[in-house]
């Protein structure tokens, strides 16, 4: 029992650790007076660990599912892409906006003077088979720029291996696990803005 509690605490502590952005261009202070961002999500050139490409990953997962039950491979592919708009992006928006009690800063898909682009460069779906599980992870490039003038980059940086963990370990759906990565990413970005741009 004690061993289980220690492991649980290690998992929770690892996932609650706030990762820092590695700034590549610009400065977080440039975001001081911005109250609203248009979100842009980009999944191009996506890396999937242990696979040469996203296409290879999908082919492998679809084939394995088709062996067990016809039609389930295509359903997996559909959900893999649908989860972006239905799970990941809403989760990011919800997690980011709730960090600002008075709505002093917000993100949405609506038009705004400034854009926050979330380019996901890596997705690891993790797994949960009951007695053994591993967190999902994402890596991203975050770019904030003037919407009318995209070359005017105010801030660009990366977050590596942001882990998602939820439902007290009952996260058997890969889409759910990955969506929790976006919730954590949003929390990290919002926290960075609060600590470094607004103070």
Number of domains in the chain: 1
Greater confidence (125 vs 17) lies with 125
b/e per residue, 165-183, with b = 16+ CB within 10 A? bbeeeebeebbbbbbbbbb
Q: Is residue 173 part of a domain?
A: yes
Show the tokens assigned to 193.
């803005």
Q: Is residue 11 part of a domain?
A: no
Q: Is residue 83 part of a domain?
A: yes
Q: Is residue 1 part of a domain?
A: no
The CATH number of residue 137's host domain is: 3.40.50
Q: Is residue 8 part of a domain?
A: no
CB contact set of 160 (below 8 Å; sequence gap of 6+): 19, 22, 139
Q: What is the pLDDT of residues 20-38, one digit of tens each?
A: 899 999 999 999 999 999 9
Q: Is residue 4 part of a domain?
A: no
174 band by pLDDT with thresholds 50, 70 and 90: confident
Q: Residue 83's CB: how many other CB atoms inside 10 A?
A: 18
- In 3D space, the residue among 133, 112, 111, 115 whose CA is nearest the CA of residue 124 turns out to be 133
Domain that holds residue 153: 18-197
Q: Is residue 122 part of a domain?
A: yes
Q: Residue 65's CB: how many other CB atoms inside 10 A?
A: 17
The 8-class DSSP code of residue 124 comes to E
Show the tokens assigned to 15.
């996932």
Mean pLDDT of 170-188: 89
Q: What is the pLDDT of residues 92-151, one digit of tens each?
A: 999 999 999 999 999 999 999 999 999 999 999 988 877 788 889 999 999 999 999 999
Contact criterion met (CB below 8 Å) for 180 and 170? no
Q: Is residue 98 part of a domain?
A: yes
Greater confidence (19 vs 82) lies with 82
């Amino acid at each position: 029992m004690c061993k289980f509690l220690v492991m649980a605490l290690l998992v929770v502590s690892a996932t609650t650790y706030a990762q820092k952005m590695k700034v590549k261009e610009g400065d977080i202070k440039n975001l001081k007076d911005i109250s609203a961002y248009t979100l842009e999500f980009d999944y191009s050139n996506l890396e999937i660990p242990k696979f040469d490409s996203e296409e290879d990953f999908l082919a492998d997962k679809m084939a394995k599912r088709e062996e067990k039950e016809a039609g389930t491979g295509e359903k997996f592919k559909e959900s893999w892409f649908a989860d972006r708009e239905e799970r990941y992006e809403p989760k990011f928006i919800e997690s980011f906006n709730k960090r600002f009690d008075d709505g002093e800063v917000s993100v949405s898909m609506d038009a705004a003077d400034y854009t926050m682009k979330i380019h996901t460069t890596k997705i690891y779906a993790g797994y949960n088979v009951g007695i053994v599980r591993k967190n999902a992870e994402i890596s991203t490039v975050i770019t904030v720029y003037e919407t009318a003038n995209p070359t005017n980059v105010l801030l660009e940086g990366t977050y590596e291996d942001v882990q998602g963990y939820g439902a007290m370990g009952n996260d058997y759906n890969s889409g759910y696990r990955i969506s929790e990565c976006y919730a954590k990413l949003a929390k990290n970005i919002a926290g960075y803005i609060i600590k470094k741009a607004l103070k």
